[in-house]
Structures are given as structure tokens and as C-alpha cells.
Structure 1
Amino acid sequence: MTGAHWAVIGLLALAAFVIRVAGLIAGGRIRASRHAWILEALPGLIVVSLVASSLAGEPTATWIAAALALGVAVLTNHVIATMVLGVAAFATLQGLGL
């Protein structure tokens, strides 16, 4: 490898390090502020955004199975039951041709 390759690798490593340190500093400041609730809600918000973006453009059967899984999650608060019933609903709906 040439010196230019090593320079790019070094620059990218430095950028990755700076991004991580900046995240640690920002996280510490947020925890000490009145906006600390954001960090507590963040994991759930990330999951919801991933699910919502994956449902965009999906057929009706997927939406129905997702709604059923949401209902199971609200009623039981049990991750395994939610996954099993959501997948079973999707497989059933696919088998019915929806």
C-alpha cells in the first residue's frame, strides 16, 4: 500500500474516534440536562422507526400481521409471544393468499 492509502486509513480511524468521543461527551451533557428523558426513550424510538420503515410499501398481509403482533405486545408485554404470533399470522395470511 502507498502512503496515500495509509493516510486515508489513519484519517478514517481518527474520524471514527472523534465521532465516538463526541457521542460520549454529548451523552454526558444530555444526561445532566432536562432532556435526559430522550436517552431513556431512544431505544424504543429506534425500534419503532425501524419497524415503520420496513413496513412501508409492504402488502396488506404484512400490515395485518404487524397489527396483530402489536396487539399481542400491548396485551402480554412478552417478546417471544409477540414474535411467534406475528410470524404465525403472517404465514397464515400468506397461505391464504393475502
Structure 2
Amino acid sequence: MSHSHWILIAILALAAALIRIAGLLAGSAIRRSRFAPLLDDLPGAIIVSLVGASLADLPAFGWLAATCAFATAWVTRDVIATMIVGVASFAGLSYFLA
């Protein structure tokens, strides 16, 4: 490899390290800020936004399958059962209704 290749590798390694350090510093600054309590709700908000965005383009049987999955999650509080019921109801409803 030439000299320029090694320089490029060194620059990219330095950039990767600086990005990680910046993330750690920003994370610790956010944890000390007044917005820290919002971090507890962030994972749920991300999941809701992803599910909502994916449901936006689905036909009615997709919404019905999502309702079955939600009901399963509500009753069982089990992620695996919710996924199984959601996928099975979507597959079955799309087979019979589409």
C-alpha cells in the first residue's frame, strides 16, 4: 500500500474514534440536562413511531392483524406470543382476504 493509503486509514480511524468520543460526551451531557427524564420514554416512542409508519400503508387486514397482535400483547405480556400471533394473523388474513 502506498503512503496515501496509510494516511487515509489513519484519518478514518481518528474520525471514528472522535465520533465515539463525541457520542459519549453528548450522552453524558444529556443525562445531566433537564431532558433526562424523557430518555426513559424514548424506546417506547421509537417503537410506536415505527409501528405507526408501517401501518400507514397497510390495507384493512393489516390493521386487523395489528389489533390481534396488540390484544395478544395486552393479555399475555409476552413478546414471542405477540410476534407469533401478529405474523400468523397477518399471513392468514392476507391469504384469505387479499
Same fold (TM over 0.5): yes
Residue 62 to residue 35, structure 1, CA distance change in 2 (3 Å): same
- Which residue in 2 is equivalent to 1:10? 10
The count of residues paired between Structure 1 and Structure 2 equals: 98
Partner of 1:50: 50
Q: What displacement does 1:20 show? A: 1.4
- Hey, what does 1:77 align to over in structure 2? 77
Match of 2:22 in 1: 22
Shifted more, 81-90 versus 30-39: the winner is: 30-39
How much has 1:49 moved relative to structure 2?
3.2
Runs ≥4 in structure 1, deviation > 4 angstroms? none
State the match for 1:91 in structure 2: 91
What is the RMSD computed on CA atoms of the aligned residues?
2.3
Segments of structure 2 that go 5 or more residues without pairing to the other structure are none
Q: Higher mean Cα deviation, 1-10 or 25-34?
A: 1-10
Alignment partner, residue 33 of structure 2: 33
Q: Whole-Å Cα distance in 2 between the matches of residues 9 and 60 of structure 1?
A: 52
Greater Cα shift, 31-40 or 67-76: 67-76
